[in-house]
Amino acid sequence: MAEQVPRSTHKFGGASVKDAAAIRRVGQLLSNHLRPEEQAVVVVSAMGKTTNALEEVWRSPGPEQEGRWGDIVQAHLDVATELGLDVADRLQSAFEASWQEAQSAQREGLAEAAYDAFVSAGELASTTLVAFWCAALGLDAVWWDVRETVRTSGPHRHARVDEAALWDAGASLREALAASQVVVTQGFIGRHDCGRTSTLGREGSDYSAALLAVAVGAESVTIWKDVPGMMNADPKWHPEAQTVPKVDHAEALELSYYGASVIHPRTVKPLQQRGLPLWIRSFLAPEGPATLIDDFPDLVPDQPMFIWRDDQVWVEVATSDQSFLAEDHLKDLFSALDSAGVHVRMMQQHATHFGLVTDRDDIRLQTLEELLGQAFQVRREDGLLLLTVRHGDAAVVHQLTANREVVVEQVAGVTTRRLMRN
């Protein structure tokens, strides 16, 4: 029997490809890190803050939109020139295709689909630059349109993927990988079952890497960050924060649910189901401290984990007549949350109202109110701070929150959560 060729999946976020120097570093890292016989799927986000910039252009007045779009196109062309890559036509074609798809959807009144097509240009452009730079370095690298592999359904802007169908959907990607050493493709985007471009939600590129690892039968996933692995706290809040060397899949799921920014919430589950290890490493110090997320069922964390989320919103939903909040009301509420794409970070039920915490997103929250309609009343409070402590004692929690007003507190097992006013 022929020996199995090792395959891996690597994900690089926007910070790691923010400019020409960063793209050079990614190419060198892959050249140094990949074994000669290894085949790798490389998942790349949009450059730097490109997605944010595209969102701003999307919201800009009509007469300004095309000019600001042109500025983003030119920025990518400038990076290609600095890298010495002859890809101007390919970049312009990618941007043009995204623009035309967005305008077409907009004319049909499909605003969410138009948004997805519009912002996808960032990933399509960045991967073009990375793929051709890797090839210029001598790697056997090709570009791949991830929309040929990641098929989605459900609402635009936070589409769902049929994970059970990934192996079948990945057949052509596996063929491309077998014919080369490196396939560079996009995170965050997919192809909706209606044929249009879709997105998996902000920060969805980590999830893309997990999906593609399953699709090609990879033996591991590495997410390259600008931090040395998963730390027990954000160094901006806790300068003494340390890298956690090993984390169990189940613990990682808990941490991502509670808002640990180093991992996208949906990333871990497909890897856990298939027993695939996930490495989190620093692209700034590839040989430095790192975190391995794998099957460690007996691992007991030896240090508390702290997760801070600012700019949180407390939303209270009640029936318009202030009657008992029954199961049929909850069904309507959760259906509206799903349709609006509101990610709930904490929830609490009372007799006559339901409270939840979410990141501030005025558009999605407005959509939620519209979907709930006149049958419900919605009240919100902005500017709140959410702290989650796992494996920490009551004294630690009290010390961290002593000078803040607590709005809601939840304690469950090894987890304490406090929503506070600043």
Q: What is the pLDDT of residues 348-401, one digit of tens each?
A: 999 999 999 999 999 899 999 999 999 999 999 999 999 999 999 999 999 999
* Partners of 416 in beta bridges: 389, 411
User: How far apart are the C-alpha atoms of 60 and 47, rounded to whole Å?
Assistant: 21
* Least reliable range by pLDDT among 7-16, 25-34, 221-230, 254-263: 254-263
Fold of domain 7-219: Carbamate kinase (3.40.1160)
Residue range 2-26: mean pLDDT, rounded:
92
Residue boundaries of the structural domains of the chain: 7-219, 305-421
Tell me how far apart the alpha carbons of residues 237 and 242 are, in angstroms, rounded to a whole number. Answer: 12
- Looking up tokens 């890497």, which residue turns up? 209
Given pLDDT bands bounded at 50, 70 and 90, which one contains residue 3? Answer: low
Q: Cβ neighbours of residue 307 under 8 Å, at least 6 residues apart?
A: 233, 234, 255, 258, 259, 260, 387, 388, 389, 390
**What string of DSSP letters covers 172-206?**
HHHHHHHTSSEEEEESSEEEETTSSEEE--TTTHH
DSSP secondary structure letters along 202-232? TTTHHHHHHHHHHHHT-S-EEEEESSSS-BS
> How high is the pLDDT of residue 2?
43
Instruction: State the pLDDT at residue 189.
Output: 97
The first and second tokens of residue 346, run together, are: 């904490």
Q: Mean pLDDT score of the chain, rounded to an integer? A: 94
Most confidently modeled range among 69-78, 341-350, 397-406: 69-78
Can you give the pTM of this predicted structure? 0.89
Sign of the torsion angle spanned by Cα atoms 340, 118, 205, 194: positive
Sign of CA dihedral 153, 158, 163, 166: positive
- Note the pLDDT of residue 28: 97
Q: Average of pLDDT values for 95-120?
A: 96
- What pLDDT does residue 302 have? 85
305-319 and 278-282 as β-strands: parallel, antiparallel, unpaired?
A: unpaired
CATH superfamily of 305-421: VC0802-like (3.30.2130.10)
**pLDDT tens digit sequence for 310-361:** 999 999 999 999 899 999 999 999 999 988 889 899 999 999 999 999 999 9
Q: How far apart are CA 72 and CA 381, in angstroms?
A: 35
- 120-154 pLDDT, tens digit each: 999 999 999 999 999 999 999 999 999 999 999 98
Q: Does 202 score more than 80 pLDDT?
A: no
